[in-house]
Chain A
Amino acid sequence: MKELDPLLHSQLRLAIVSLLLTVEEADFVWLKEKTEATSGNLSVQLDKLSEAGYISVRKEIVGKKPRTTCSLTPKGRDALNEYVRTLKEYLHI
């Protein structure tokens, strides 16, 4: 049986990608609130997903505050679809 994508098979990273699946883009504060993760941990996981090309991260200054906005890339969407397909095989759904 096919192995689950190790990058997605982690609680916080899977939560991030699932949240981004149904929105066009979301900022760091919103993701932090929804995942209830710490800023440091969330930041590290966003970097990992970004390095893999699963999400795109845009950093900008809005007003005088820095703002980080994330969105799911087509590669990330495909990876999540594949992950769910593999999960279904495991669970015989």
Chain B
Amino acid sequence: MKTDELTEKESIELISRMIEKTRNEMNGDDFNSFLAYGYAAVAISIAVWLLTHFTGNDMWCFGWFAMFIPYLLSFFKKGKPEVVTYMDRMMDSVWKVIGSMFGISLLIIVVAGAISGIIDFSMMMPLSIIYAGIGTSITGLIINEKWFVWTPLAGLAAAIWMLTCGWTGGSYDNSWNLLFAASFLIYMVLPAHIVRHKISRS
């Protein structure tokens, strides 16, 4: 492309052509982060369930801290993207807020537990499902993808089940791990594969 002057018609055509080129970038997300966090959640929850089931030791639930691994690994992924669309920025901001919600919840649980003498992380399980579900739904609304918008409702049902158990005198149960795995499979892994398939077909 040169710096030559253009006719008015050529100018309009050039603007349209360039905008069309950027449109392709907006469909560029491969949803790998959804698969990374989704599969990590499923794998960890099944591992924790198996270990707790066969050893009878609830301490295996600390295996949940392995969920930080995908986050830490994300620092090693290749450099900054060549182009950042408004959609990218918006999704990035949404997940930063969701990440902060996780961080604040963990902090409050630790502080409140330190004061009361009992640090109980079991509340993190339903909260995580709700937070990640909200993030996934908002992502779905931004990219206009109904699979991401609606499937978190399945996770919400599981989270409310867990919370209701807590309020009605029950407590953390090993089966929560399986509910957690099912939730992330339904609203993170499955939609990400469906949308990736759609993108590859188009």
Q: Please report A residues at the B interface, Cβ cutoff 8 Å.
A: 4, 9-15, 18-19, 21-27, 29-30, 33-37, 41, 45, 62-63, 67, 83-84, 87, 90-91
In-complex Cβ contact of B6 among A10, A23, A29 (8 A): A10
6 pairs, CB–CB < 8 Å, chain A vs chain B: A4-B11, A15-B14, A26-B84, A45-B3, A62-B79, A84-B15
Q: How far is the CB of A52 from chain B (nearest CB, A)?
A: 14
Tell whether, in the assembled complex, residue B80 and residue A67 are in contact, meaning their CB atoms are under 8 Å apart: yes
> Which residues in window 78-124 of B have CB below 8 A to A?
79-80, 82-86, 88-89
Q: How far is the CB of A30 from chain B (nearest CB, A)?
A: 4
Tell whether, in the assembled complex, residue B19 and residue A11 are in contact, meaning their CB atoms are under 8 Å apart: no
Tell whether, in the assembled complex, residue A36 and residue B11 are in contact, meaning their CB atoms are under 8 Å apart: no
Q: How far is the CB of A29 from chain B (nearest CB, A)?
A: 6
Number of A-B contacts (CB under 8 A): 92
Interface 9-residue window, one of B21-29, B45-53, B150-158: B21-29
In-complex Cβ contact of A87 among B12, B21, B22, B83 (8 A): B12
Interface centre among B10, B83, B88 (most CB of A within 10 A): B83
Tell whether, in the assembled complex, residue A36 and residue B88 are in contact, meaning their CB atoms are under 8 Å apart: no
Query: Would A13 and B83 be within 8 Å (CB), given that A19-B21, A91-B8 are in contact?
Result: no
B residues within 8 A CB of A15? 1, 14, 18
Tell whether, in the assembled complex, residue B89 and residue A12 are in contact, meaning their CB atoms are under 8 Å apart: no
Interface centre among B5, B9, B18 (most CB of A within 10 A): B18
Query: Would A22 and B15 be within 8 Å (CB), given that A9-B6, A62-B80 are in contact?
Result: no
Tell whether, in the assembled complex, residue A14 and residue B6 are in contact, meaning their CB atoms are under 8 Å apart: yes
Tell whether, in the assembled complex, residue B25 and residue A14 are in contact, meaning their CB atoms are under 8 Å apart: no
Report the Cα distance A21→B26, complex, angstroms: 13
Q: How far is the CB of A33 from chain B (nearest CB, A)?
A: 8
